[in-house]
A and B are shown apart, each in its own frame.
Chain A
Amino acid sequence: MRHKILAFILVCLVVARRLDFASPGLAATIAWIVVGAFACVVGALVLARILVRVPRWVGVCLCALVLILGAKSVPHRQESKLNLYIWSAYLAPDTLPEFEKRHGVKVSFDTYDSNEAILAKLQAGNVDYDLVVPSDYMVEILIRENLLAELDKGALKNLKNIDPAFLDKPYDPGNRYSVPYFWGTTGFGYRKDKVPGVIDSWKVLWDPKYRDRITMLDDMRENFSAALHSLGYSSNTTSTAEIQQAKELLMKQKPLLKSYNSGNFHEMLLSGDAWLVQGFNGQVAKAMKENPNIGYCLPKEGCTISFDNLCIPRNAPHRELALLFMDYVMEAEVAAKLVNACYYSTPNRECVPQVSAHIRENSAIFPARENLAHTELIHDVGRAVEAYDAAWTEIKSR
């Protein structure tokens, strides 16, 4: 008996390996449908028979329901299917349908909530994403971990549409593995009606006049970046003395703060609960659309800039299709639609004339080029991160 069970389990494992869910194939799909439907019917019948008090028609309904569920959940495998793994709200309504129509393929996409999710999935190695959209520092990590495929530049004819100012960044020199999709800055949003005067510096976030009307992001590196920049240092400094000075500055600011807020600072700006909020340009831009009294400042001392990039994982099953999609979203018309729908800054210079006028004039999404001169990417600071951690813990616990 025991041998039979063991043999049965072994056979099951072998069959499961053969019918590997990723390997498409009509035979496997049909086998799954047949086996699944049979199991469903038998299961439902037995269940209906067992539930003695339940009338027969309930059993029949249950049976039908299970069958429908079973049939629907059988994965429909198609040879030409692109699997996207992308941030939420990063596509325009017709981006995918248009691509599907043009190339006669199917696109499915999943969303994630952090860069670390991409790393975890790709490191696990048994997932079939063809295109992922990591931020700058994560691109660096993925390259280091050897998880990305090198791009065939010959297939990317629309790469010429990308502004060279946004290419060849230190996280991926020569863009061998990534092309920028959207970029963003971390400045601060403010209420023009409550905060008068020329707003062009981080200093206003330290003004006691606005006590309890200021919020900062709940993010260690962004806080230090604001403090370090307003002291005239780099946001990637490894000097303990400079980190110490920044810490003191942030300590001085803390009594003025309403809260550390990374989630709905733009809503606090709109409701008037806060007048000065450190935040990402995309969210502030959305608030600016709702209320013209809201402005966005890229401080003259400098601030951080970040890029989200299209990359192809090393083990992507549909690499050609992924390249096609990459090239497709770099088309001027497609890129313009993305900006119109998502409200983020685009690295695509050819699409700008097709972007809606009110977005083009939004200084948070399309800042003047000279204001970007002092922006800085956040890098890994190595061992110095311990000094940052200690200082940040001290600030938060005070």
Chain B
Amino acid sequence: MARRSDILLPACWVSVLAFLYLPIGILILFSFNRSKLTASWEGFTFDWYLALAHNGPLLSSLWNSLVVAAATTAIATLLGTMAAYAIDRGLNRRQEQLVDAIIHLPIIIPEIVIAASLVIFFGLIGLRLSVVTIVLAHVAFSISYVILTVRSRLAGMEPALEEAAMDLGADEWTTFRTVTLPHILPGIVSSGLMVFTLSIDDYVITSFVAGVGSTTLPLSIYSMVKQGVTPEINAVSSLLLVGTLLMAGVAQRLSHTLEE
């Protein structure tokens, strides 16, 4: 029996990994394909990456995506952390339950409903659709993730620590800065990273609230796919993947050092 599970278990996780990562591997492989077709392999080339460097519209949509993701991350983590702190410290149990339910809503509500309601809302207050509305929309749907992550860090914190700091003469701001913040920082960093990735690959909501001069990368790729998937799309997807992986690695190391 033991021997059978020796074979079965590795086979199991290898096939799960293959299922998860084989498509991505093939996508990267074919971004180096000499052929214009995604159907057959015809030799190695860097041409598509060079072509990418000259594809103005695609590059400007990449820039839009980065700006939106960076702004969303900054705003959502700042507001989300503040909200989490306020909820943790300022509310009684019943209020907390109510607020909890409200915070979970944006995660549960279908994206398409959020998108439609945001468009109607922006129309009502007369805000023109642009990069700004995309950022606002992204903050709206991603802030819940920050609140939840940071709150779980706050919940695991010993209240005696803050009390000790106050006893030693630190005011509230100093206590927050030197005791509370370092403790919840890993939560902030990891939720910030999550917000960044959520923002950079969002299609449904972005397609509704995008306006003049604000085509993001996912929108641009969707419209290009109309004419068939080209190796250029593979190339830009691979770059995005490598970039995100690098960022995840850096953030992980950062949060490790912060935790120590």
Using a CB–CB cutoff of 8 Å, the interface residues on chain A facing chain B are 13, 16-17, 20-22, 43, 49-53, 66, 69, 72-73, 75, 83, 87-89, 108-113, 117, 120-121, 124-129, 263-264, 266-268, 270-271, 273, 282-283, 290
Contacts and interface: CB of A to CB of B under 8 A. Distances in A.
B15 to A, nearest CB: 26
Nearest to A342: B227
A50 B36 contact: no
Contacts of B129: 121, 124, 126-127
A16 B219 CA distance: 27
B67 A73 contact: yes
Interface in B132-177: 132, 177
Given A52-B182, A83-B212, A273-B39, A113 B222 contact: yes
Contacts of A109: 57
Contacts of B219: 110-113
Interface stretch (B1-9, B22-30, B119-127, B235-243): B119-127
A230 to B, nearest CB: 27
A283 B225 CA distance: 12
Contacts of A83: 212-213
A50 B181 contact: yes
Contacts of A43: 74, 78
B226 A110 contact: no
Contact of A271 (B39, B123, B208): B39
Contact of B210 (A72, A75, A110, A273): A110
A49 B132 CA distance: 28
B126 A126 contact: yes
9 contacts: A21-B127, A69-B71, A87-B226, A89-B227, A110-B212, A113-B222, A264-B39, A267-B228, A283-B228
Contacts of A129: 212
A343 to B, nearest CB: 10
Residue of A20, A49, A113, A268 with most partner-chain B CB within 10 A: A113
A126 B172 CA distance: 45
B37 A128 contact: no
A128 B67 contact: no
B251 interface: no
B190 interface: no
A273 B128 CA distance: 48
Residue of A52, A110, A125 with most partner-chain B CB within 10 A: A110
Q: How large is the interface on B (under 10, 10 to 19, 20 to 34, 35 or more residues)?
A: 35 or more
Given A110-B210, A126-B127, A127-B212, 14 more contacts: A50-B177, A51-B185, A52-B178, A75-B213, A83-B213, A87-B223, A88-B220, A111-B224, A112-B219, A124-B129, A126-B126, A128-B211, A264-B38, A264-B39
Interface string B216-260: 000110111111110000000000000000000000000001100
Contact of B128 (A21, A113, A271): A21
Given A111-B219, A271-B40, A20 B123 contact: no
Nearest to B115: A120
Contacts of A72: 67
B258 A270 contact: no
Contacts of B33: none
Contacts of A13: 125
A20 B181 CA distance: 37
Contacts of A273: 39
Contacts of A266: 228
Nearest to B209: A124
Contacts of B198: none
Contacts of A111: 57, 215, 219-220, 223-224
B130 interface: yes
Given A124-B119, A264-B38, A108 B212 contact: yes
B114 interface: no
Given A108-B212, A109-B57, A110-B214, A22 B177 contact: no
Contacts of A270: 37, 39
B131 interface: yes
Contacts of A51: 185
B127 A263 contact: no
A88 B123 contact: no
A16 B225 CA distance: 37
Contact of A16 (B127, B182, B208, B228): B127
